[in-house]
Structure 1
Amino acid sequence: MTAGTAFDIIVIGAGIAGASVAAELSPEAKVLLLEMESQPGYHTTGRSAAVYTPIYGPQPIRALTRASRAFFFDPPDGFADHPLLSKRGGMFVANADQMAALEAAYAEMGAEGELEWLDPAGVRSHQPLLREDYVAGGFLDPGCFDIDVHALHQGYLSRFKAAGGRIATRAEVTAMTRDNDIWRITSVEGVFEAPIIVNAAGAWADHIGRLAGAEEIGLIPKRRTALIVDAPEGLALDDCPLVVGIEEDFYLKPDAGRLLLSPANEDPEVPCDVQPDEMDIAICIDRIEKAFDLQIRRIENRWAGLRSFVADKCPVAGYSEQTEGFYWLAGQGGYGIQSAPALSRFAASQIVGSDIPQDVLTEGLDPATLAPGRLKGIT
């Protein structure tokens, strides 16, 4: 093995999870980032309409999101040439049959954020497109921000390369063996060695785990479809929040002068270059037209992405209990962008055996809630 193919750590997958942890590791280690596609972030990261909202998601996600706040508002010098966040606001809405669910969510989320309860008129003052005969109530989350996903991802990749990290694209992993405490990875782009592997392969993470002989974590990629349509003339989009149905059956968000719509579906898929399903599109249009005063006759763009979950919908971050030198960093679901700054620092500390960042622990993260071993018997 030549010096050019031997590394301290190999990270598999160059989406936001792999790029961020590689950037955190590269100042202290020789790191290779392997990506099977022609460009990093081709799949889930590149198709995300992410927002930053610290009140949403399972408890470990909320803790990681809070711990990521300082990075988003004050990233390192030179990380990006403009702010990573822009003010959006989020609003959860319900019809008459969903008010009990709305009240329960308000009580739970309000314990961690400053929410504003809204009557139907208040809801429609924030989003006048909502139908008067649909909406029965809602609440506003003023702490919701749009994330510039591209700037965040590219910022991490730039930091990684500036620290001497190497990226190999079109480098699908085809085999993995371990001998004398060294992993030997065979890829389309060559053979590479390192004592530590970080599995940040997104929807393909269980496949990489099987190649390594690691435990199954029960990862299920789930398809989510999104559409872009024109906004009605005269609508002040800059003042409109993200609107989410309380049962997560739709969302609508202003996006670059248009409207981004989704049925918020979670349909199991095999790992693939997923495409939008025509039934998803029809369901999306039906749900949006029932809730909003919109008639969708033309779709500007449509796409789908994979959001991968394990049974408890919390990330998996920790060393395998079955395979030496194999670190899981998977299962971020739809929360991987907003939690990346803290999760990458947490993972990097575990990978190199240093102290977990105190600010992450202070926000209430229990490392056991992310450990692969927690999934025994429930995968």
Structure 2
Amino acid sequence: MSHVPQIKIPATYMRGGTSKGVFFNLEDLPPAAQVPGAARDAMLLRVIGSPDPYGKQTDGMGGATSSTSKTVILSKSSQDDHDVDYLFGQVAIDKPFVDWSGNCGNLTAAVGSFAISSGLVDAGRIPQNGIATVRIWQANIKKTIIAHVPMTNGEVQETGDFELDGVTFPAAEVEVEFIDPADGEGAMFPTGKLVDDLEVPGIGSFKATMINAGIPTIFLNADEVGYNGSELQDDINNDEQALARFETIRAYGAVKMGLIGHIGEAAKRQHTPKVAFVAPPSDYQSSSGKQISKNDIDLQVRALSMGKLHHAMMGTAAVAIGTAAAIPGTLVNLAAGGGERDAVRFGHPSGTLKVGAQASEQNGEWAVNKAIMSRSARVLMEGWVRIPGDAF
């Protein structure tokens, strides 16, 4: 029996923030995968090593977590006044599914670096030394993101002393601005309320702030779901009943936010919305053993991604946190002590993160001009990724 040999596709394996993924230049993809559809999804699934019933992604580039089962496709921008189009695909681990419904804020930090190194940014816009401003069109949610990428002697500066909790080694700081981060075309608060009563049959009723900013997110109070807000991954990810309960809450929240028509559709929209729970600041020990003082944070936040508690914080969820914190009366704002604020530092399982946002109320509607945070990024490997030629 004859078998189709492997093909190789130019690719770069990159870390961005607390995530990592496989980056592609659109023009380097096989022709069938240069357009959206089944062939592209099948190719990316095989690259990452999904679906894997063992949950390990051993036969692919994935790392068997939501943070490491990611793909990015970049191209010269089709939009005026932008440099690069950025398309993100969240690859399911145990299912044959690529979710295109949202952005990855962490990998956004690597987009500018890849775009510069791949010649997708006009040379005249790149300084020999200093900061390159890369204008990114986030094609999943149709929003503008600005990445400020450090340059040294005409090359992207990746090494540095910027430390990011959730990442072991320091690197160069990349400041990322999410412009008008309300997700999609709808209202920032799709129900029209800062705090809703979310009824979840068979589970209960919860106070919830449901917001479209960075990524659609459902914020709950930690004590209402049985937690104190300082939990680490093992406290939740080893509890199948808790994970199932959160998934049910997520499904009913997605319906109330208008993201899906009925709860049965939630299984095909795993990437969004996110579910997070908040609590006032408290002392705790991070997953690395670092002691975090309640005096160093404004609130605690824990968030789930692709059905598991995240080891740190998704970048897009951090945008949602910063945005909600800037709006008096949301659960996030109240957990941080209430009042007006333009930045918060929150605790997460790996440590702390600061995010800023500029919010204003106009004709009874809240708007956020931008949210800002600092991440870092680094090329881990570059060359080609190989997959069987009949995999897509």
Could you state the TM-score of these two structures normalised by the residue count of structure 1?
A: 0.24
Tell me which protein shows more strand as a share of its residues: 2
Instruction: Tell which structure's C-alpha radius of gyration is larger.
Output: 1
Ranked by relative contact order (alpha carbons within 8 Å, sequence separation 6 or more), the top structure is 1
